Amino acid sequence: MASKISLIVPCYNEQESLPIFHLEAGKVLKEIGCDYEFIFVNDGSRDDTLSVMKQLAEWDEHVTWISFSRNFGKEAAMYAGFCNADGDYVAVMDADMQDPPSLLPEMLHLLESGEYDSVAARRVNRKGESPVRSWFARRFYRLINAISDADIVDGARDFRLMKREMVEAIIEMSEYNRFSKGIFGWVGFRTCWYPYENVERVAGETKWSFWKLFKYAIDGIINFSQAPLDLASWGGIGMTFVAFLFLIVIVVRRLVFGDPVAGWASIICVIIFIGGVQLFYLGIMGQYIAKTYMETKHRPHYIISETNRDGVKKVR
Ligand code: UDP
Ligand code: MG
Per-residue confidence band for 40, with pLDDT thresholds at 50, 70 and 90:
very high
* Closest ligand 1 atom number to CA of residue 9: 15
SS3 222: helix
The reported pTM is 0.83
Within 13 Å, how many C-alpha atoms sit on residue 147's CB side? Answer: 19
Pocket probe for ligand 1: among 11, 12, 211, the residue whose CB has the most ligand atoms within 8 Å is: 12
Strands 118-123, 89-92: pairing is unpaired
Per-residue confidence band for 283, with pLDDT thresholds at 50, 70 and 90:
confident
Q: Which ligand is in closest contact with the Cα of 79?
A: 1
d(CA 130, CA 148): 27
Question: What is the residue type of 263?
Answer: G
> Is residue 260 scored above 70 in pLDDT?
no
Whether 97 contacts 21, CB under 8 Å: yes
* Closest ligand 1 atom number to CA of residue 72: 8
Burial class (CB in 10 A: 0-12, 13-18, 19+), 252: exposed
pLDDT digits (tens, 9 = 90+) for 121-138: 888 877 777 888 888 888
Which residues have C-beta within 8 Å of that of residue 3, sequence separation ≥ 6? 34, 35, 88
Predicted confidence at residue 125, as pLDDT, reads: 78
Report which secondary-structure segment, H or E, holds 184. helix 180-187
pLDDT digits (tens, 9 = 90+) for 50-109: 999 999 999 999 999 999 999 998 999 999 999 999 989 999 999 988 888 988 998 999
Question: What is the residue type of 278?
Answer: Q
CA distances from 153 to 85, 140, 183 (A): 25, 11, 12
> Is residue 150 scored above 80 in pLDDT?
no
Distance from residue 282's CA to the centre of ligand 1 (Å): 32
- Ligand 1-lining residues (CB < 6 angstroms): 10-12, 14, 43, 71, 73-74, 77, 94-96, 98, 206-208
Closest CA to 309 of 62, 29, 45: 62
